[in-house]
Amino acid sequence: MGNVFLGSIREGLANELNDLQPTSVILLADDNTVVKCLPYLKELLPDSKVITVPHGEQSKNLDSCIRIWTELIQLNSDREAVLINTGGGLICDLGGFAASCYQRGIRFVNMPTSLLSMADAAIGGKTGVDFAGYKNYIGSIVAPAFTWIDPAFLKTLPLRETKSGLAEVIKHAIIGSPELWDMLEGSTAIEDMPWEEILKKNLPVKLNIIESDPFEKGIRKVLNFGHTIGHALESYYLTTSHPALHGVCVSLGMMVESKMANIIGILEKPVLEEIVTMMKRVIEPLDYHLPEYESLARWLKQDKKNRAGQILFSLPDRIGSCGWNLAANEEVIQESYEWLVQGVTADGRLNLLR
């Protein structure tokens, strides 16, 4: 799935790019990262061209791909051009997919700038766009030429986005690393977290899983923990005037799915409580109104992991271990979701440990 480098782009990025011998380098950014991140990168790549799309999940669609393909043509980009996706998960997913189709595929580099994309979205080769109201429904699994993670980009990331990214780091700890979990439990304010150290522990969890199952035939499904409920919530909020952050939806999803694991008897209550306590750091105060369970059903029924009409989940059985392809009946899903809804107080606090 391509080499992954962690460290300053000043130390080696130019050499890695030279090795690709590109005829041109195009930077893809959104209207935030073009201002906050591109000046730092442009110092190293003064001759590169820039394509921008509006920020936010609403840009993750085929219209944005058409815009990128049109601009690539206008820039005379040939098959040896390299697209550098400079942004969060939106830019990495969108740019990777657009690059994988342009002239039947040009090379791309992921340069994640949000915590969520450094910890998760830029790694593993999943690319794609949302379609017909469903998350990531059109896409491909295709390797970037390489991924370069420079934590210096995080200096300009708003706190709410940092919290959203922390959700995927917590997911990796729950599904595969008690050591990372202990590190997160022991750390203090989110603003002061040692991101480079945390990423060093986080990355092997995802890399080891995708190396053993690149096309998600089995164990890779554990990376979807929290995402069955999370994607349904995210898709629901995209139909409202108040779209929700991916990490917030995944955090809510991880709590509901942990509760499901507890109800079906594979996760002990003290561990569920530990997970809820950790999630509070990402979620509180919650400023989204949770929809009725019935509003989520449409998306749950269309989840990409479903088989033969069964909604399948990846559920943890302890910190550091997670199963997959676990079917749950509708009553358990609904009971767990209602547990969450009833546990959110009017001021957005979580009162779930009762």
User: Binding residues for ligand NAD, per CB under 6 A?
Assistant: 30, 32-33, 36-37, 55-57, 60, 87-91, 93, 113-114, 116-117, 120-121, 124, 126, 136, 153, 156-157, 161, 164, 246
Q: Is residue 168 among the annotated active site residues? A: yes
Least distance from ligand NAD to the Cβ atom of residue 172, Å: 11
Q: Which of 71, 216, 234, 257 is catalytic?
A: 216
Least distance to ligand NAD, CB of residue 353, Å: 28
Compare residues 13 and 272 and give the one whose CB is closer to ligand NAD.
13
71 is catalytic: no
| Beta carbon of residue 209, minimum distance to ligand NAD (angstroms, whole number) | 11
Q: Nearest approach, Cβ of 322 to ligand NAD (angstroms)?
A: 16
Residue 213 in contact with residue 194, Cβ under 8 Å?
Answer: no
Please say which residue, 135 or 259, places its beta carbon nearer to ligand NAD: 135
Based on the residue annotation, tell me whether 306 is a catalytic residue of this protein. Answer: no
Q: Are 97 and 126 in contact (CB under 8 A)?
A: no
Catalytic residue among 107, 163, 171, 231: 231
Q: Give the integer Cα–Cα distance in Å for 148 and 68.
A: 22
Catalytic status, residue 197:
no
Long-range pairs of 188-196 with CB within 8 A, sequence gap ≥ 24: 190/159, 190/162, 190/163, 190/166, 190/281, 191/159, 191/162, 193/166, 195/115, 195/118, 195/151, 195/154, 196/6, 196/151
Q: Is 32 a catalytic residue?
A: no
Strand partners, 350: 344
Which residue out of 107, 172, 201, 227 is catalytically annotated? 227
C-beta of 57 vs 257, nearer to ligand NAD: 57
Q: Which is nearer to ligand NAD, 48 or 164 (CB)?
A: 164
Burial (Cβ within 10 Å: 0-12, 13-18, ≥19) of residue 284: middle
The DSSP output letter for 190 is G
Backbone angles phi, psi at 254, to 5 degrees: -65, -35
Judged by beta carbon, residue 156 or residue 302, the one nearer ligand NAD is 156
Is 231 assigned a catalytic role?
yes
Least Å distance, CB 118 to ligand NAD, is 9
Whole-angstrom Cα distance, residue 251 to residue 279? Answer: 6
43 labelled catalytic = no
- Whether 294 is catalytic is no
Pairing of strands 146-149, 107-112: parallel
As given in the structure block, the two tokens for residue 50 are: 């820039």
Of 60, 172, 246, 259, which one is the catalytic site residue? Answer: 246
Q: Which of 57, 71, 161, 168 is catalytic?
A: 168
What is the Cα–Cα distance from 87 to 83, expressed in whole angstroms? Answer: 12
206 is catalytic: yes
* Residue 214, phi then psi, degrees to nearest 5: -60, -30
92 vs 290 by CB, closer to ligand NAD: 92
Catalytic center residues: 104, 126, 168, 206, 216, 220, 224, 227, 231, 246
